[in-house]
Structure 1
Amino acid sequence: MKRSIKITFLIFLSILSFLIGSCERKKRIKDFAIGKVEEIVIAANETVYANVEKELLDALYIQMDLPVKESVFYTIYSPLEKLHIHKRNKNIVFVTNINRNDEYSKIINEFLNSEDIELIKKEKVAFFKVFDGFVEGQNILIIAGTDEESIKESIKKNKEKIQQFFLENSYRSVEMMVYFTGENNRVSSLINKRLGIKIKVPSDFETSFYDKNLNCYAIVGRYPDRFITILKNPDMKNFNYDFMIKTRNRIGKEKYYGDFVDTSFVPLKREEVDFKGYKALYIMGVYSNDKENLGGPFFTYLVNTGKELVYIDGHIFYPGERKYFKLMELKAIVNSMEF
């Protein structure tokens, strides 16, 4: 159930200020959510959380091979006395039993109006989505029920929906982060001039290379190292996965010191997708470089515009760190393209 923030947020802030003493702070709250996009704050009464912890943590655990297995999100539990610190985080899940009368439960229950309460009583558990609650770019999921056992079972039943909520809406936060410091209009203009493609290049990206013979342009952002490579090909017969892999290996060899598609760690994901209204092929996997002894994840699109093929590749080098949302940053840039 989507909904907008209403007067209950003001009540929540008032109660929270009274309980925590944050009313003494004179600093103005910033307009944008803070913290890491991969962090999810869990806010709930300690007893409620203890009863649903296993199921909730399982629902919020999403594993990716990039190429080392890593979790997309990590969670932190916020006790009542620390809620004023976390209320501006990008992702929050509130869990509440509407029949509890402790202070923490009362604060969370202030989000719910009479219609919400009736729905919860009828269904035993209900989920509510709140966007840009305390700050812009914030995603809040409220899980409210009549008892912990029902909440626990509903979390298990709706595991995929909970995961999808944070995956989809965290991408919304990523889009905001990518262009937070502005755009590099100079490089955007160069790409448009060379390839006839419009793209919003973030301010921290620069030209990596341009190859006239390959009809290829690449940009790079540091640090960590993030690359986007764009190539145009006029031969429509090349609309296939083999062309994508061969092209990636060729560019990897010539421009990236020997990178190659490596399927020994992670199987190559292949699928047909829609790219902004155009038919496209998509692959995602891992590249390696034996000379440099490095590697990392990549994704590649091959878009059929009806007139030509556009090869778009994004890859990162970020050893020892979480990589999923760095890839999503590249996808946000790629999705700004217009042919």
Structure 2
Amino acid sequence: MKKLLALLFIASLIACSGEKDQQEVGEEKEGNAKNTSFLPDATGESGEIVIIINKRKYDGALGEAIKEVFRETVPGLTRPEPMFTIRVIEPFEFNRIFRVARNLVYVTSFEGSSAADKWLQGTFSETSRERIFNNPDLFMQTSEDQYSKGQKILQLFGKDDASLIKNLKENKGLVQNFFNIAEKQRLARTIQMSTASKGILRKVNDRLGINIKIPAGYELSMLEDDFMWVRALPAVGPSKNLFVYSKPYTSQDEFKYENIIKLRNEAGKKYIYGDPENKESYMITETEYMDPVFRNINFNDQYTVEMKGAWKTNNFSVGGTFVSYTFVDEGTERLYYIEGFVIHPSEDHRELIREMESLLTTFRVS
């Protein structure tokens, strides 16, 4: 447990460091909050980003670095999908339709002299320019609600293309996380619970002592002393599923990746069937054709292992994609495995998994 606490402390330091980096160059000061009541709501689909850049540079090395950040393949999905859907425009194309986009990225290099470069460079004050030229490690600043409510804005900059490219390559995850977190927070705010789903949650809380946001339209599939499964089964469209499995925590070895897969398969074989009448249709983790992807994260100030990958039933009748978090609740000394998985054959899963991630982040032990 001491080792686990040490890992938690390190994860917390990393998270705090990332927040500091994001705020480093920002010119907006606390206490100067904008009145956004007169602004229109931000538009666009989840995962969409409008990038304003000199298109000649986008066709070169700088553009390749931008693509590596925003069009990187999402790990763990059953087929390749880019992390974000991007729309690249020049400043002169930045009209009122694009201004209200939910996610905006300005890309600026101060070595350019074209009209597009001059326009982008003009978005910085003289003080900011001086700081950029004096500190080559500064390359991004964030703001929000510039043209619309709920809008997230990122400025990427460098004294020259080479400096910006270097920082993008070294800090790719930081840039991606800014928009990944923003999208998950938006989803968490828009997902509504119904009277029926609140009733389901009361049953779950009474039995398991946990809370998690259960959206309207979900039904309770199974509830046991160590397990909960809720799902949405629409007549048309994706099936969405959430489940929680817990057991007494015994050893740090339970955080080894192979043991997390074993834990997942244990829950699947015990409780989750494609066809309840067919005992060979239990859920298993796909490891033959693709391996799950793991990442150590800080979830609710707890050391957590995130796993993403593909699942299937043992008799190959159905399958899909999942994302899960494994962690220990120190108050109860229980190991929790919480997962969101989807069924949507031959369709994209990126935004579905993002939605599952958003729901998982609402999990709390009572």
Same fold (TM over 0.5): yes
% identity of equivalent residues: 18
Contact 2:264 2:285 in 1 (8 A): no
Q: Relative to structure 1, is the Cα distance of residues 267 and 117 closer, same or farther in structure 2, using a 3 angstrom cutoff?
A: same
State the alpha-carbon separation in 1 of the partners of residues 294 and 58 from structure 2.
39
Secondary structure at the aligned position of 1:70 is classed as: coil
C-alpha distance 322-301 of structure 1, shift in aligned 2 (>3 A): same
RMSD: 3.2
**Cα shift at 1:263:** 0.4
Would the aligned equivalents of 2:211 and 2:363 in 1 still touch at CA under 8 Å?
yes
The answer as to whether partners of 2:52 and 2:105 remain within 8 angstroms in 1 is: yes
Shift of 1:282: 4.4
User: Is structure 2 residue 161 aligned with structure 1 residue 151?
Assistant: yes
SS of match in other structure, 1:166: helix
Change (3 A) 1:163 1:318: farther
- Answering whether residue 211 of structure 2 is matched by residue 198 of structure 1, we say yes
- The residue that corresponds to 1:332 in the other structure is 358
- Where 2:201 maps in the other structure, the secondary structure is helix
Aligned positions of 1:1-339 closer than 5 A: 1-3=24-26, 5=28, 29-31=39-41, 33-51=42-60, 52-63=62-73, 64-84=75-95, 85-98=97-110, 104-123=116-135, 126-132=138-144, 133-146=146-159, 150-184=160-194, 185-202=198-215, 204-212=216-224, 215-221=226-232, 223-234=237-248, 236=250, 239=254, 240-241=259-260, 242-253=262-273, 257-270=281-294, 274-289=298-313, 291=315, 293-306=317-330, 307=332, 308-339=334-365
TM-score (normalised: structure 2):
0.72
Counterparts of 2:298 and 2:106 in 1: how far apart (Å)? 35
User: Which amino acid is the alignment partner of residue 69 of structure 1?
Assistant: P
Deviation track 1:205-249 (CA, whole Å, cap 9, x = no partner) reads 41241233x542222245422211013334747945333332233
More displaced 10-residue stretch of structure 1: 271-280 or 109-118: 271-280
Superposed displacement of residue 123, structure 1: 4.9
SS at match of 1:220: strand
Shift of 1:130: 1.9
In 1, Cα distance between equivalents of 2:122 and 2:39: 21
**Structure 1 residue identity aligned to 2:88:** Y
Number of residues of Structure 1 aligned to a counterpart in Structure 2: 312
Verify the 8 A CA contact 2:69 2:175 in the aligned structure 1.
no
CA apart distance, 1:3:
1.9
TM-score between both structures, scaled by the size of structure 1? 0.77
DSSP-derived class of the 2:190 partner: coil
**Structure 2: which 5+ runs fail to align?**
1-23, 30-37
Conserved? CA contact 1:49–1:95, under 8 Å: no
Cα gap change, 1:281 to 1:4, in 2 (>3 Å): same
Superposed displacement of residue 108, structure 1: 2.9
**Runs of 5+ unmatched residues, structure 1:** 7-27
Q: 1:258 offset after TM fit, Å?
A: 3.3
Residue 91 of structure 1 contacts residue 166 of structure 1 at CA under 8 Å; is this kept in 2? no
Q: Which deviates more, 235-244 or 158-167?
A: 235-244
SS in 2 for 1:35: coil
Aligned counterparts of 1:138 and 1:144: Cα–Cα separation in 2 = 20
**Rounded Cα–Cα distance in structure 2 between residues aligned with 1:284 and 1:298:** 6
